[in-house]
Chains A and B, each alone.
Chain A
Amino acid sequence: MPAAAAEERAPAESEISMSNKATRQAFGEALAALGESHKDIVVLDADLSKSTKSELFARKFPDRFFEMGIAEANMLGTAAGLALSGKVPFCCSFAAFVTGRYDQIRISVAYSEANVKIVGTHAGVAIGDDGYSQQGLEDIALMRALPTMTVVQPADDLETAAAVKWLAEHEGPVFLRLTRQNVPRVHAEGYQFQFGKVDTLREGTDAVIFASGGTVAPALEAAAALEKEGISLRVVNVHTIKPLDVEGVVAAVQASGNLAISAEDHTVIGGLGGAIAEALSANHPARLLRIRVQDVFGESGSPEDLLAKHGLDAAGIARQVRAFVRG
């Protein structure tokens, strides 16, 4: 599947100015560090270790790294067998490719109760130029639909490192969704990752925006801009998309004028917005604006242009929130 030649090029200037570290990079570093104390961790990749950053682990622990070639189905099954024999496998590829092997995840991983950590990098249209085939856009929906599957999407390097440690010590299948692009740090040093709990990054009373992964920083930026216009926007980071912290979501909506917004680099069906919609409709009906990629395919373009096109940059988020709150 991979056609990732573009990976090796230097990051564009715009990406550097956007931020400091991609969550895939933070993942690779955290995993390599964790390998020291967690001897049961093994890592598999399907010819994308330079892109998923699993190569950082591979260099340090070559005997516990398995290069599976461009064969994701076999990689997932092999990971399941390793897990059923006591290992803690991290199975890495682009989110689009690895979740595309759905039947293997469904039967060999989830249904078999195999303790496999599925790592999908290159989330969303934010990967840019490579276009739709490489963009994970329906992956959250697919993974959420599986019983026992946990879905985690960290927002910055600190949260990624904490989440990777949690994954390694948690028994059960997990899908970890990571960005290709650099993202700014939104947490302070010493941040405590609380699995299954929403993470309030900014207080606000007029509305609440639930963001995850690469959209957390632009949501914060939008909130800062809106404050100058007199709109008080609460910003909640949802790192654990499944199981969703329903109580935390409802409390945030109640505290924010019963106006809810979700923002994610994923299609409209079944992602974070879908999860929030399900939670609210069943527990606390409230108006919900879903800022997301429409029910369409992605395409080539610069990350900035694509995020702007889909209204997922700070300006786009601010524009949509403004209309929603004032509308």
Chain B
Amino acid sequence: MHPATTSRHADPALVARLEEIAGRMRVDIIEMLARAGSGHPGGSLSVIDMVTALYFHVLKHDPKNPGWAERDRFVLSKGHAVPAVYAVMAEAGYIAKEELATLRQLGSRLQGHPVASFVHAPGVEANTGSLGQGLSVAQGMALAAKLDGASWRTYCILGDGEMQEGQIWEALMSAPKFRLDNLTAILDYNKGQIDGPTNEVMNLEPLEEKLAAFNWHVIRIDGHDIGQFLDAIEEARATTGKPTFIIADTVKGKGVSFMEGRIEWHGAAPNAEQTKQALAELARR
């Protein structure tokens, strides 16, 4: 999908494999949302490259043993992007591919926002959807690992809009206090939220400076460059004494030309014609 990785370290064959999976995940996301008739394509497509890399390379987890106590934890704080998680869960074997067709239907396990109860697995570790809460929950998980001397790590994906919630900044203040170097926050910085561009609704910048001032180790990458993402994850793992915050610049709706960078695709499903066009584009990539 990307002509060349800018990674310094990641194996090009690995990156190519993850890109290939992410491409197929985009198809699953579009089909899922089209069938459901509602949902959030913009943020699901902006985050899917990183979610794919997490699921198929970074995270220690076992689809045959979802509740495995030693699994890495992954909290999707921006819960509205959960179709991205359902897609990788089906690909990994946690759920059947056919179940994706039940998204948002009455009686489905695939709720419109993540629920932890149906299976304990990365991506659905906690119920999210009311924005701003996931980083605190992830912090609690990281604290538990520290208490137990466990080696598993905790990852939390945030949306840029939810960075406006005060609770996020409470957690940004507390995680360095507890020296949670086993906690990595990842911002899917797609620059858009429901009411408009993030920098107009409530500007986050200068973000790197703010996070550094809160005593996080800060890394900024292109969130669609899987090689860069894997490098950043390695850097986070090697960082001791403080948590790491990866600011990943992304494009809302990435991969579907008419959705890219367009706010109106934050929370609207494609109709039949748009779905056809989107799938045709994705097939060509």
Q: Which residues of A contact B (CB under 8 A)?
A: 42, 63-64, 66, 68-69, 71, 73-87, 89, 103-104, 106-108, 111-114
Given contacts A73-B170, A84-B116, A85-B145, contact A107 B138 (CB under 8 A): no
Interface residues of B in 112-150 (CB under 8 A from A): 115-117, 125-130, 133-145, 147-148
Contact, CB under 8 Å: B130 / A87:
no
Candidates A81, A106, A111; contact of B140 at CB < 8 Å: A81
CB distance from B117 to the nearest CB of A (A): 6
Given contacts A69-B173, A77-B133, contact A85 B117 (CB under 8 A): no
In the bound complex, what is the Cα–Cα distance between A66 and B173 (angstroms)? 14
Chain B residues closer than 8 Å to A80, beta-carbon distance: 126, 136-137, 140
Ordered nearest first, which 9 A-B pairs have the shortest CB separation? A81-B140, A77-B136, A85-B144, A74-B170, A71-B170, A78-B140, A81-B137, A82-B140, A81-B141
Candidates A63, A75, A86, A112; contact of B144 at CB < 8 Å: A86
Chain A residues closer than 8 Å to B75, beta-carbon distance: 81
B102 within 8 A of A: no
B38 within 8 A of A: no
Contact, CB under 8 Å: A108 / B127:
yes
In the bound complex, what is the Cα–Cα distance between A89 and B136 (angstroms)? 14
The residue of chain B having its C-beta at the shortest distance from the C-beta of A85 within the complex is: B144
Can you list 8 residue pairs at the A/B interface with Cβ under 8 Å? A42-B147, A71-B170, A78-B174, A80-B136, A85-B144, A107-B129, A112-B137, A114-B126
Contact, CB under 8 Å: B144 / A73:
no
B6 within 8 A of A: no
Chain A residues closer than 8 Å to B144, beta-carbon distance: 81-82, 85-87
Given contacts A69-B173, A103-B130, contact A64 B167 (CB under 8 A): no
Candidates A66, A83, A86, A112; contact of B127 at CB < 8 Å: A112
In the bound complex, what is the Cα–Cα distance between A4 and B244 (angstroms)? 35
B171 within 8 A of A: yes
User: Count the A-B residue pairs with Cβ separation under 8 angstroms: how many?
Assistant: 106
The residue of chain B having its C-beta at the shortest distance from the C-beta of A78 within the complex is: B140
- Interface size for chain B: under 10, 10 to 19, 20 to 34, or 35 or more residues? 20 to 34
CB distance from A118 to the nearest CB of B (A): 14
CB distance from A12 to the nearest CB of B (A): 35
In the bound complex, what is the Cα–Cα distance between A70 and B140 (angstroms)? 17
Contact, CB under 8 Å: B136 / A73:
yes
Chain B residues closer than 8 Å to A76, beta-carbon distance: 136
CB distance from B93 to the nearest CB of A (A): 23
The residue of chain A having its C-beta at the shortest distance from the C-beta of B146 within the complex is: A63
Given contacts A78-B140, A112-B116, A113-B117, contact A104 B170 (CB under 8 A): no
The residue of chain A having its C-beta at the shortest distance from the C-beta of B73 within the complex is: A85
Chain A residues closer than 8 Å to B129, beta-carbon distance: 107
CB distance from B181 to the nearest CB of A (A): 16
In the bound complex, what is the Cα–Cα distance between A112 and B142 (angstroms)? 17
B258 within 8 A of A: no
In the bound complex, what is the Cα–Cα distance between A13 and B130 (angstroms)? 47
In the bound complex, what is the Cα–Cα distance between A66 and B136 (angstroms)? 13
The residue of chain B having its C-beta at the shortest distance from the C-beta of A101 within the complex is: B167
In the bound complex, what is the Cα–Cα distance between A87 and B133 (angstroms)? 19
Chain B residues closer than 8 Å to A82, beta-carbon distance: 140-141, 143-144
Contact, CB under 8 Å: A78 / B147:
no
- Contacts A77-B137, A77-B167, A107-B127 given; 20 further ones with Cβ under 8 A? A66-B143, A71-B167, A73-B167, A75-B136, A76-B136, A77-B136, A77-B139, A78-B136, A81-B141, A81-B144, A82-B140, A83-B140, A85-B140, A86-B69, A87-B147, A103-B133, A107-B130, A108-B133, A112-B126, A113-B117
Candidates B115, B116, B117, B174; contact of A74 at CB < 8 Å: B174
The residue of chain B having its C-beta at the shortest distance from the C-beta of A64 within the complex is: B147
In the bound complex, what is the Cα–Cα distance between A161 and B120 (angstroms)? 33
CB distance from B46 to the nearest CB of A (A): 23
B12 within 8 A of A: no
In the bound complex, what is the Cα–Cα distance between A76 and B133 (angstroms)? 9
Contact, CB under 8 Å: B127 / A104:
no
CB distance from B284 to the nearest CB of A (A): 40
Given contacts A80-B126, A82-B141, contact A113 B116 (CB under 8 A): yes
Contact, CB under 8 Å: B137 / A71:
no
In the bound complex, what is the Cα–Cα distance between A253 and B189 (angstroms)? 60
Contact, CB under 8 Å: B117 / A79:
no
Contact, CB under 8 Å: B174 / A77:
no
Interface residues of B in 57-111 (CB under 8 A from A): 69, 73, 75
Contact, CB under 8 Å: B145 / A74:
no
Given contacts A73-B166, A83-B140, contact A108 B174 (CB under 8 A): no
Chain A residues closer than 8 Å to B138, beta-carbon distance: 81
Chain B residues closer than 8 Å to A81, beta-carbon distance: 75, 126, 136-144
Contact, CB under 8 Å: A74 / B171:
yes
Chain A residues closer than 8 Å to B127, beta-carbon distance: 107-108, 111-112
Given contacts A71-B173, A107-B133, A113-B116, contact A84 B126 (CB under 8 A): yes
CB distance from A76 to the nearest CB of B (A): 7
The residue of chain A having its C-beta at the shortest distance from the C-beta of B156 within the complex is: A81
